[in-house]
Amino acid sequence: MTNAPSVSPQPSQGQVSGLVNPRWAGFWQLLLARMRELKREPEVIFWVFVFPLLLALGLGIAFRNKPADATSIAVVAGPGADSTLTLLAKAPQHGTVHAKVLAKEEALKAFRLGKVDLVVEPDGRGGYQYHYDPARPESVLSRTQVNDALQSGAGRLDLLPVSFVVSSEPGSRYIDFLIPGLLGMNLMNAAMWGIGFALVDMRQRKLLKRFVATPMRRSDFLLAILSSRLLLMLVEVGLMLGFGVLIFHMRVLGSVLTILLIGVLGALTFGGLGLLTASRAQKIETISGLINLVMMPMWIFSGVFFSYERFPVAIHPFIQLLPLTALNDALRATILEGAPLAAQSGRILVMLVWGGVSFLLAMRWFRWT
Amino acid sequence: MPVRYNASMAVAIQCRDLRKTYDGKVEAVRGLNLEVQAGECFGLLGPNGAGKTTTIEILEGLLAPTSGQVSILGHTWETHSRELREWLGISLQETRLSEKLSVLETVELFASFYHRPRPAREVLEQLQLTEKADAWVGKLSGGQKQRLAVATALVGNPKVLFLDEPTTGLDPQSRRQLWDIVREFQGRGGTILLTTHYMDEAERLCDRLAIVDHGQIIAEGSPAELIARLGGHHVVEFAASNLEGKAPEAWSQLPGVESVRHEDGLFSLSVREPHLTIPALLDAVEQQGSQLMHLTTRQASLEDVFVRLTGRHLREE
């Protein structure tokens, strides 16, 4: 090394172009390239933007709040079947019961297959036997309804005067619960795939190696990837909320700014997790498995499609420590209840810790080659 | 040393006793020394798995050597990596650039990483990619993709160009186009280090060569020097009937024969003066009572040098 003469850096190609790149040229070009690639990938548009809306639409329709669910029952054919139908028709609740007469065997088969909620078997002497399943809520409900209908049809009088107030406000429906959950899940999916998968794909293609063979700043590269995620996040939040408001007349109580701040935090949290997941994997098959492994528990526990209140109370504290739970809870509290950011410090902390620790570990372990 | 190299005669690339051991077991590079002068086109020639790519990636600062020193343009990776990155242009063996970006977008992206890049369109013009400027990378042919890979290396206006197997898998026309690009870069004063397992590429393109085998340099010099060192400048190959009993060494007694090889029934003689050897060979065959089935004579090539040195062919796959 001692006698190696130092070569003064003279321009080898003769002409000097005079072109000088500003400090952030690399970052902007990387961001531009990333956005162009995403825009030109129809699958990305579908999975990131269209699919969550389709999911919301499908689930919103399937679980829409129907006016007092009508129950389907079977009446066993034989003496007394006709008078049963007459009694039901006379009852004030007659609109909520669909009854059909079937042979006993047919009726029990229909009950077993879930086509009817209850089988009513007249005993021929004016009495009835109900076949119901105590483990099926609709079956229990049907028994009560049908019994009431038959009794009042037969002339039973209610002893207490009662009246009803209808309460079906937007905000308490399933779709209101669902939309923030889908939004949270979508932010997780898009970040894990859009960052984790994309990075491993670039590593497998030796593109990361090619990039670090240039004077590109590695921080610029990672910043560009995260920035592209944040830009897409804005579109995702806007689309999902706009969809909920326009199609399902959802009411957004919290401020848009707060919702976006939570969105930014969520996108960065899962961006960090995506980065960590992708830090070593060499093949896209490996990263696909890892991403699903990371996301699977959160799909189930974090209250996307149903409330985690359904799980035993003992594990609630653990569920609440999952980043998607924190994100979903924060989105729901803001969108549905109008909670300010200050009231959600616990959830914000959970996300910050997950994102921050993931990012730091990823920086330690990340392989460019 | 002829004065055709860069006037400064400075050392552009130097490495001493370079070693690389993977996982403490596989010795990919075993004590390799190299000195490439500024303005030179230097080739690492060797079969697959010889350690060429490991060597070039260590020189490029992409792999850390297990031991040994590397100096590029008088600087080391430890102290001047940022400057070196600005001065080097690199084309890796297999990079799949983003398929959904256009050629121009790709070159502009790479240009943005350098402090003082060349205009992207000028580089495309030089590499005959102007027509394809707006085409997506995924739609390019193999030769065009390889030229684009070199374009991303040239757009930073490098002083040293590293090319790892630049023409592998390309058709003859695309290969010649790439050779022209390399010569043009050298013509403007650039230094090139390339790896190849094509003899013709090494012979035509490189001022000097190092033949690499099992992680070591087994011969070094200009293509002509290496061929001359083989002993003869010509190779006479022949096959004849009923020669099973005759030892290959017997042929080395013929006038002008430097060395003999026997492979699959074919004898190869390295000879200095074929016009003396061939009549004697014909007589000898006749005396044996056998019949000549095949006879060719050709200029010796680097392939012959490699076979002579290692007993194997370059492209044994």
Are B95 and A216 a contacting pair at CB < 8 A? no
Nearest CA in chain A to B115: A21
Are A209 and B95 a contacting pair at CB < 8 A? yes
Are A213 and B118 a contacting pair at CB < 8 A? no
Highest mean pLDDT of the ranges A42-51, A153-162, B81-90, B229-238 = B81-90
Of all helices (H) and strands (E), which one includes residue A221? helix A218-248
Which domains are delineated in chain B?
11-227 (3.40.50.300), 231-299 (3.30.70.980)
Whether the pLDDT of residue B155 is over 80: the answer is: yes
In the three-class reduction of DSSP (H, G, I as helix; E, B as strand; rest coil), residue B161 is classed as: strand
Looking at chain A from residue 207 to 226, which residues have their Cβ under 8 Å from any Cβ of chain B? 207, 209-216
Of B92, B110, B116, Cβ closest to residue A20: B116
Q: Contact B205/B195 with Cβ under 8 angstroms?
A: no
Are A7 and B10 a contacting pair at CB < 8 A? yes
For residue B179, the distance in angstroms to the closest alpha carbon of chain A comes to 17
> Whole-angstrom Cα distance, residue B288 to residue A288?
70
| Domain ranges (residues) in chain A | 71-153, 170-365
- The domain A71-153 having CATH identifier 3.40.1710.10: the answer here is yes
Nearest CA in chain B to A15: B118
In the three-class reduction of DSSP (H, G, I as helix; E, B as strand; rest coil), residue A17 is classed as: coil
Query: Which chain B residues are closer than 8 Å to A206 by Cβ?
Result: 92, 94-96
Query: Which chain B residues are closer than 8 Å to A14 by Cβ?
Result: 188-189
> Whole-angstrom Cα distance, residue B92 to residue B85?
14
> Whole-angstrom Cα distance, residue B139 to residue B162?
26
Helices H, strands E: what count in chain B?
10, 13
pTM, two decimal places: 0.81
Of B11, B90, B96, Cβ closest to residue A205: B96
**Token pair listed for B244:** 């099973």
Pairing of strands B216-221, B67-72: unpaired
> Whole-angstrom Cα distance, residue A287 to residue A295?
12
- Give the contacts of A329 (CB within 8 A, at least 6 positions apart): A303, A320, A344, A347
Residue A88 DSSP one-character state: H
- Dihedral of CA atoms A47, A50, A51, A54 in degrees, nearest 10, equals 180
Residue pairs between chains A and B whose CB atoms are closer than 8 Å: 136
Looking at chain B from residue 15 to 44, which residues have their Cβ under 8 Å from any Cβ of chain A? 16, 38
Q: Contact A173/A60 with Cβ under 8 angstroms?
A: no
Are B76 and A7 a contacting pair at CB < 8 A? no
**Token pair listed for A237:** 């939040």
A14 interfacial to chain B (CB closer than 8 Å): yes
- Dihedral of CA atoms A217, A219, A222, A228 in degrees, nearest 10, equals -90
Are A17 and B71 a contacting pair at CB < 8 A? no
Output the DSSP codes for B230-285. TS-SEEEEEEETT-TTS-GGGGGGSTTEEEEEEETTEEEEEES-HHHHHHHHHHHH
Q: Can you give the pLDDT of all 369 residues of chain A as single tens digits?
A: 334 444 444 444 445 557 899 999 999 999 999 999 999 988 888 988 899 999 989 988 887 766 556 788 999 988 888 888 888 888 776 677 888 899 999 999 999 988 898 999 998 788 899 999 998 888 898 898 888 888 888 888 888 888 888 766 666 788 889 999 999 999 999 999 999 999 999 999 999 999 999 999 999 999 999 999 999 999 999 999 999 999 988 889 999 999 999 999 999 999 999 999 999 999 999 999 999 999 999 999 999 999 999 999 999 999 999 999 999 999 999 999 999 999 999 999 999 999 999 999 999 999 998
> Whole-angstrom Cα distance, residue B234 to residue B275?
11
Query: Which chain B residues are closer than 8 Å to A228 by Cβ?
Result: none
For residue A49, the distance in angstroms to the closest alpha carbon of chain B comes to 20
Nearest CA in chain A to B185: A13
Listed residue (B204, B180, B159, B210) closest to B35, CA to CA? B210
Question: One-letter amino acid identity for A351?
Answer: M
A285 interfacial to chain B (CB closer than 8 Å): no
> Whole-angstrom Cα distance, residue A286 to residue A288?
5
- Give the contacts of A65 (CB within 8 A, at least 6 positions apart): A168, A173, A174
ipTM score for this prediction: 0.86
Q: How many CB atoms are located within 10 Å of the residue B172 CB?
A: 9
Question: One-letter amino acid identity for A315?
Answer: I
In the three-class reduction of DSSP (H, G, I as helix; E, B as strand; rest coil), residue B29 is classed as: strand
Query: Which chain B residues are closer than 8 Å to A205 by Cβ?
Result: 95-97
A337: exposed, middle or buried (Cβ count in 10 Å: 0-12, 13-18, 19+): exposed
Of A5, A26, A206, Cβ closest to residue B74: A5
Largest CA distance in chain A: 117
> Whole-angstrom Cα distance, residue A276 to residue B59?
29
Q: Contact A262/A330 with Cβ under 8 angstroms?
A: yes
Looking at chain B from residue 141 to 180, which residues have their Cβ under 8 Å from any Cβ of chain A? 152, 156-160
Question: One-letter amino acid identity for A369?
Answer: T
Of A5, A16, A40, Cβ closest to residue B10: A5
> Whole-angstrom Cα distance, residue A48 to residue B24?
45
Place of tokens 């359904």: A310
Which of A20, A21, A207, A214 to mutate to test binding with chain B, by most B CBs within 10 Å of its CB?
A214
Which of B67, B73, B98, B184 to mutate to test binding with chain A, by most A CBs within 10 Å of its CB?
B98
Place of tokens 């798995």: B49
- Give the contacts of A136 (CB within 8 A, at least 6 positions apart): A114, A117
Query: Which chain A residues are closer than 8 Å to B114 by Cβ?
Result: 21, 214-215
Are A7 and B98 a contacting pair at CB < 8 A? no
Of A1, A12, A369, Cβ closest to residue B62: A369
Average the pLDDT over B187-207 and give the result.
91
Query: Which chain B residues are closer than 8 Å to A10 by Cβ?
Result: 159
> Whole-angstrom Cα distance, residue B227 to residue B224?
5
Q: How far is CA A85 from the centre of its chain?
A: 44
In this predicted model, which residue has the larger pLDDT, A123 or B77? B77
> Whole-angstrom Cα distance, residue B43 to residue B163?
10
For residue A228, the distance in angstroms to the closest alpha carbon of chain B comes to 16
- Residues linked to residue B261 through DSSP beta bridges, in sequence order: B268
Query: Which chain B residues are closer than 8 Å to A4 by Cβ?
Result: 11, 14, 71, 74
> Whole-angstrom Cα distance, residue B112 to residue A22?
9
Q: Contact A89/A279 with Cβ under 8 angstroms?
A: no
**What per-residue confidence (pLDDT) applies to A350?**
97
Q: How many CB atoms are located within 10 Å of the residue B82 CB?
A: 10
Whether the pLDDT of residue B229 is over 80: the answer is: no
Query: Which chain A residues are closer than 8 Å to B14 by Cβ?
Result: 1, 4
In the three-class reduction of DSSP (H, G, I as helix; E, B as strand; rest coil), residue A4 is classed as: coil
Are A213 and B90 a contacting pair at CB < 8 A? yes
Looking at chain B from residue 250 to 309, which residues have their Cβ under 8 Å from any Cβ of chain A? none
For residue B147, the distance in angstroms to the closest alpha carbon of chain A comes to 15
B127 interfacial to chain A (CB closer than 8 Å): no
Tally of CA atoms within 13 A in the half-sphere of A84 that contains its CB = 29
Which of A3, A13, A38 to mutate to test binding with chain B, by most B CBs within 10 Å of its CB?
A13
B214 interfacial to chain A (CB closer than 8 Å): no
